[in-house]
Amino acid sequence: MNAACRAHWVAAAPLRHGPAAGRRHDSSAAALSSKVCRPAQLRQSSHSRYLVRRLGPPGGRAVALDAAFPFDREAKMKKQHTQQLKLRIGIVGFGTFGQFLAQRMVKAGHEVIATNRSPCFEAAEAMGVRFYTDANDFCEEHPEVVLLSTSILSLEKVLGALPVQRLKRSTLFVDVLSVKEFPKRLLLRELPQEVDILCTHPMFGPDSGKGSWAGLNLQFDRVRIGQDEERQRRCDAFLAFYEREGCEMVEMSCEQHDQLAASTQFITHTVGRMLGAMQLAPTPIDTKGFQSLLSLVDNTANDSFELYYGLFMYNQNSTEVLDRLEKAFDEVKARLLRQLHDKVRQQIFYGQSDDTQMLPAANRISASTEDTAQAAAPSAATTADKPGGSNGAGKRGSGTKHAKHAAPVKSAVESA
């Protein structure tokens, strides 16, 4: 690098010693670019003190060529740090989500290998992942991190079939299951004491995380990480992958995750699936609200039913949430029908204006057809006579008018 180039590079390069140091550096960089050293600014950090020593007496002319050295050192250190963040990650379960993660990991510079029940050579090759059908071969590649991305329902079986003895002793096991207490217990129970365990749940999928991951949540629980520096570093390096993608890092116990996820994620999937079953379709007059319902259906329908079932079966809190959802639906429906009943009863007992046309078609009877009214009369009499008694509906009406409203009540009650 010639002197002119270095001078330019020194002036442009930011310092990465934290924001305050960075700001201080801006002024010193400006000073260097004009090649005049201003001592008051340069004396503020150890790095700057180093520059003062190198650049001669305060107020003297600075030679940018000399100043480049620490930046070279810094670049080297940065490179070394980046190298430390690179991991050999072995993915077990190379389905939709495993492949989704693998793609990003490769892009981030990690070495990724994978194994799966059914062969996925082509998909793996396309994204620069080495694929192994034989789990023995996979383990003998000695990945530093084994990432479990198999279905919730198959985890126990898959883990049981993995020849863990072929891995290095202190391998880090990470799971990405959408439920957390279950894998935590299973991994603690099944894996040898010497392996590390990190439970994670990326709270997004191939649809919601199609573009940037900025602001998307990553829950994690360092369930069992050995105390020595290297094992801590490896765990941090793995988490740094998500952090560098812009995820919100949420450290939380697996138990707490399941409590919260039941009333957030599980409910989202349930409502999405219910609406999906209704086969809703876009119309020319869609509201924003309806469009967001359609996108909820899209976001949830692409996940396998097995995954959804896993959210229910393997989270102890899901049944209660499902019950609450059902109860809430019943309450809302009952409130609607109560309002309808109240209105019709007003008409039955107090003969208020005839606005049956306001009722839903299914509950409406033809007000003009005397025969229909007559046919409904017995049930009307039963309904009206009971509460009315001697001063009730029977006194006021001839039966025909009340019969007109009795049918809607019956129909509404039956449908409730």
Residues forming the site for ligand NAP (CB under 6 A): 93-98, 116-118, 149-152, 154, 157-158, 176-178, 202, 205, 303-304, 306-307, 310
CB-nearer residue toward ligand NAP: 147 or 381:
147
Q: Which residue is nearest to ligand NAP (CB)?
A: 205
Smallest separation (angstroms) from ligand NAP to the CB of 116:
5
CB-nearer residue toward ligand NAP: 150 or 383:
150
**Is-contact 222 249, C-beta < 8 A?**
no
CB-nearer residue toward ligand NAP: 114 or 403:
114
Smallest separation (angstroms) from ligand NAP to the CB of 150:
4
CB-nearer residue toward ligand NAP: 306 or 330:
306
Smallest separation (angstroms) from ligand NAP to the CB of 119:
9
Residue 338, both tokens: 């109560």
Smallest separation (angstroms) from ligand NAP to the CB of 224:
20
Could you tell me the CA-to-CA distances from 325 to 93, 209, 332, 338, 413 in Å, in that order?
Answer: 33, 27, 11, 20, 22
Smallest separation (angstroms) from ligand NAP to the CB of 88:
20
In 359-380, which positions are buried (b, 16+ CB within 10 angstroms) versus exposed (e)?
beeebebeeeeeeebeebbeeb
DSSP labels for 2-65? -HHHHHHHHHHPPP-S-HHHHHHHHHHHHHHHTTB--HHHHTTSHHHHHHHHHH-STTSBP-HH
- Pairing, β 111-115 against β 172-175: unpaired
Smallest separation (angstroms) from ligand NAP to the CB of 322:
18
CB-nearer residue toward ligand NAP: 262 or 380:
262
CB-nearer residue toward ligand NAP: 155 or 344:
155
What is the distance in angstroms between the CA of the first residue and the CA of the last residue of the chain? 82
CA 174 to chain centre: 17
Sign for the pseudo-dihedral over CA of 242, 248, 253, 258: negative
CB-nearer residue toward ligand NAP: 117 or 364:
117
Smallest separation (angstroms) from ligand NAP to the CB of 217:
11
- Give the span between the Cα atoms of 356 and 347, in whole angstroms: 9
Per-residue three-class SS string for 159-206: HHHCCHHHCCCCCEEEECCCCCHHHHHHHHHHCCCCCEEEEEEECCCC
